[in-house]
Structure 1
Amino acid sequence: MTTPLTSLRHKGGRWPNLLATVSLVLLAAAALMMAGSGPAYRGEFVSLGEAFNLLRYGVYAAAGAAAISIITLLVSMLTRRFTPSVIAALVILLAGSLLYMPWQLWQRAQAVPAIHDITTDLQNPPAFEALVDAREAAPNGVNYPGEATARQQQAAYPHIQSVIINASPQVVLAAAQAEAEEAGWRIARIRDNHIEATATTRWFGFQDDVVIRLSEQENGVKVDMRSASRLGASDVGTNAARIDTFLKALKTRIK
């Protein structure tokens, strides 16, 4: 005798497998679009706008994969299909992992001001010299944005300040050069009291320019930095984090 529940299991038997397959396809598409958006832009295969579109579509696909997997899980429970339910649970976890990164970036973007030029010296920011041409060709230009940016930086990153290191200028310069090279920055110029370099972000390959300026003081060498993105209104905190990390590492290296 066929009961309604038996009938449901029989009729719904193919749906869990089909839904699980669709969710897997969406998950694979999401992973390819999200992971490939940065390298595609960095390799100049797509424009920045197209790369961001790939990233956005990847988010949509990951969200779709998660939504379909929830449905798959419910249907699998009703039809008592073990394999589709396991696949659905895995897709939900993996889709959540994919969605976490853009969500985290969005959260960071909301928490920091939309600025892209950070310096330890707000009154007299270190100036670009060797990188003038590269920055003049970039959307953000070479000049420090001014007082409005300084006020926003001071409110958001009060810890970004000059440091005094009790060592000779030669020792500090050599340590700063070694730290920049270890960070993978491309050195543009090194003088007695001045280093210019370009840092390239890993995923999208955005180029941020860095100036390190040394000034002799009675109690040591004052180190000032400036890190500025060539592109974009907001750096999502990247330049401030770069300066903070570099100066901490420099002090540790010289101890």
Structure 2
Amino acid sequence: MKILVLLMSLAAFLLVTLPGPLYRSGLVELGAAFAGFKYAVITGVAALILLIVQMLFKRQTVTFTSAAVAIVFSLIAILIPLRMMITANSVPAIHDISTDIMTPPEFVAIAPLRADAPNPTTYAGLETAKKQREAYPELQTLQYSQPKSELVAAVEQAANNLGWQLVNTNASAGVIEATDSTMWFGFKDDIVVRVLDQGGERLVDIRSKSRMGKSDLGKNAERISLFIEELDQVLGE
């Protein structure tokens, strides 16, 4: 039974850790990858139940190492999908986040790259704006006193520091476009930053939009917040 418990816990672990790399490499479809999470939880729970049965009725076959490995693998298989589920229930099911929800920055150079993406480049609309404002009220248009050229350079530097792939920089228009990929599944999200003159101040707006999926699990809002922190560091604020 010890071997069975170990094999089941390992299978559960693989079912939750391999879908991302397999999907990213094109070996499995997204539906199959997500199905792996469900089976990971089922297999992980089954492994823990078998381990309990083993400890109750075949205690002599249990070793500390085998039990520890089975518990760790099974808990990872169970907790990762549960954490994703909790996150999905705690954030709105939106995938287009902008600091300016009335006139969000527009994708230009990136638009052709999204030609086959399920989510269009157009802003998701007023309902999305309302949900965003309720969930992320802190995401607002930024104001800086630095010259426009300095801000554009700082935006580029911040994007590079975060590992984004720069697609377009139009210094005169104050527009910077970039693409970021999620680490696990390699989902591509696109970002556009707009720098506008307004009297003696510069207004900076950031928009981050997923190419696919109804909900981004809060990733786009998190990305914008990280960018704002990085930009302030680059500017020394």
TM-score by length of 2: 0.93
Cα separation, 1, equivalents of 2:55 and 2:147: 66
Q: CA deviation at 1:163?
A: 1.2
Give the CA deviation at 1:219: 4.5
Deviations 1:163-192 (A, max 9, x none): 112312122111111111121211110011
Instruction: Between 112-121 and 24-33, report the one with greater CA deviation.
Output: 24-33
Counterpart CA distance in 2 for 1:96 and 1:50 is 21
> Equivalences for 1:137-148 in 2 at 5 Å?
137-148=116-127
Aligned to 1:183: 162
DSSP-derived class of the 1:210 partner: strand
Which of 193, 196, 210 aligns to 1:212? It is 193
Bigger Cα Rg: 1
Identity %: 36
Whole-angstrom CA distance in 1 between matches of 2:29 and 2:62: 41
Alignment of 1:27 onto 2:9: yes
With the length of structure 1 as denominator, give the TM-score of the two structures.
0.87
Do 2:176 and 2:194's aligned partners in 1 also have CA atoms closer than 8 Å? Answer: yes
Does residue 199 of structure 2 align to residue 196 of structure 1? no
Superposed CA deviations along residues 11-59 of structure 1, whole A, max 9, x for unmatched, are xxxxxxx2x2111101111222221101111111111111112232222
Q: Are the counterparts in 1 of residues 13 and 73 from structure 2 also a CA contact under 8 Å?
A: no
Which residue among 148, 167, 174 is the counterpart of 1:169?
148
How do 1:55-204 residues align onto structure 2 when only pairs under 5 Å count? 55-77=37-59, 81=60, 83-84=62-63, 86-192=65-171, 193-204=174-185
The residue type paired with residue 239 of structure 1 is N
2:95, 2:215 within 8 Å by CA — same for their partners in 1?
A: yes
Q: Match of 1:31, SS?
A: helix
Could you say which residue in structure 2 is the equivalent of 1:39?
21
**Larger mean Cα displacement after TM superposition, 128-137 or 113-122:** 128-137
Aligned to 1:7: none
Counterparts of 1:46 and 1:247, CA distance in 2: 35
Q: 1:222 aligns with which of 203, 210, 233?
A: 203
CA contact (8 A) 2:15 2:36 kept: yes
Shift of 1:96: 1.4
More helix, by proportion:
1
Q: Where does structure 2 lack aligned partners over 5 or more consecutive residues? A: none
Contact 1:215–1:223 (CA<8 Å) still a contact in 2? yes
What is the CA RMSD across the aligned residues, in angstroms? 1.6
What amino acid does structure 2 have at the position aligned with 1:213? R
The 2-side partners of 1:23 and 1:170 are apart by 61
Equivalent residue number for residue 229 of structure 2: 248
Q: Which amino acid aligns with 1:131?
A: I
Q: Give the gaps of 5 or more residues in structure 1.
A: 1-17
Q: Which amino acid aligns with 1:93?
A: V
SS at match of 1:253: helix
**Does the CA-based 8 Å contact 2:100-2:141 persist in structure 1?**
yes
Q: Secondary structure at the match of 1:55?
A: helix
**For the residues of structure 2 that align with 1:24 and 1:61, how far apart are their CA atoms?**
11
